[in-house]
Amino acid sequence: MLAILPVEPFTREGGELVGKIDADMKKVWLVIATADLLIGITVLHFGYAVRTRNVRHFEFV
């Protein structure tokens, strides 16, 4: 997998986005797994797409 997929760094901007989205979600009583939140912000930050059956965790991100 590593040969075909890029490995992206976790940046300060990504961390700030995690905090903002997590805070926004908690205001409306939504909680998703930290790993899913990190995946979600990474694809947002770098402009990628996510293909998943776990729509519930990614639709808010």
Q: Are 58 and 52 in contact (CB under 8 A)?
A: yes
Could you tell me the pLDDT band of residue 2, with boundaries at 50, 70 and 90?
A: confident
Q: According to the model, what pLDDT value does residue 45 have? A: 82
Whether residue 60 contacts residue 32, with contact meaning beta carbons closer than 8 Å, is answered with yes
Please give the model's pTM, rounded to 2 decimal places: 0.67
pLDDT digits (tens, 9 = 90+) for 3-59: 887 888 888 988 888 888 889 888 888 888 888 888 888 888 888 888 888 777 777
pLDDT at residue number 52: 82
